[in-house]
Amino acid sequence: MNALAERVAIVTGASSGIGRATALLLAREGASVVVTARREDALQALVAQIEGAGGRAVAVVGDVKDETLAEKVVGVAVERFGGLDIAFNNAGLTGEVGPVATLTLQQWHDTLETNLTGAFLGAKHQAPAMIERGGGSMIFTSTFVGHTVGMPGTAAYAASKAGLIGLAQALAVELAGQNVRVNAIIPGGTDTPANVANAPGAPPQVMAFMESLHALKRMARPEEIAQSVLYLASEASSFVTGTALRVDGGLSISRT
């Protein structure tokens, strides 16, 4: 039997990378999936792929900084599929990279509003739907940057992603009595279009450096990170809440 049969999931930032791989995996494991991101064409292609494989999915286009999107996505999950059991709040961006002295207030706000406030808005509307359903699992995508590793030029990104761990811990305690578990994942470097090593014009040395940071000496595939989300979404992690789960290929402990 599939691990997520009869479950309903939301995946934000689902148009590519970790979000897309996770939406495909959750659907393959039996969940009905509501996917959201800003790129309609990529979302519709994802829905078509899920449905083509026999799954159920629906796309909602929008920006996670907009609270009306958070409310709408939950409403679609309830109206189309009957409720909400799983939420993977994954949408995020690196934002402006550079010295803190050159970072504008607007650039700071843009990064924090997408990565941290967007996740808060999602959780705000997801929690009541999960409680109504009798419980659920809420998952955030944090990062090693600002948690186990400091990297120059990433002040806003590091602060926003570290804030997600604090948010997850607070919500884990707040919602435990309603049988809602809340956790974060901490991926290592992942081979996605958003990775700086894959930016247009990035020299091969960037990828080599990123790979060298990990004990496994390679980047993760999005599908590998998705497996950690499946674990936290499923009953396999029924006694896990308030955790920041490292899925980092040994990056946090490697000094070689």
Residues 34, 36: Cα–Cα separation, whole Å: 7
Give me Rg for the CA atoms of the chain: 17
> What does residue 175 show for φ and ψ, rounded to 5 degrees?
-105, 0
Which candidate in 81, 88, 140, 157 is catalytic?
157
Beta bridge partners of 246: 186
If DSSP codes are grouped into helix, strand and coil, which group holds residue 201? Answer: coil
Q: Are 137 and 189 in contact (CB under 8 A)?
A: no
Catalytic status, residue 231: no
Name, in order, each residue with C-beta under 8 angstroms of 49's C-beta and a sequence gap of 6 or more: 24
Task: Enumerate the β-bridge partners of residue 136.
Answer: 180
Q: Tell me the CB-side half-sphere exposure of residue 107, using CA atoms within 13 A.
A: 16
Active site residues: 157
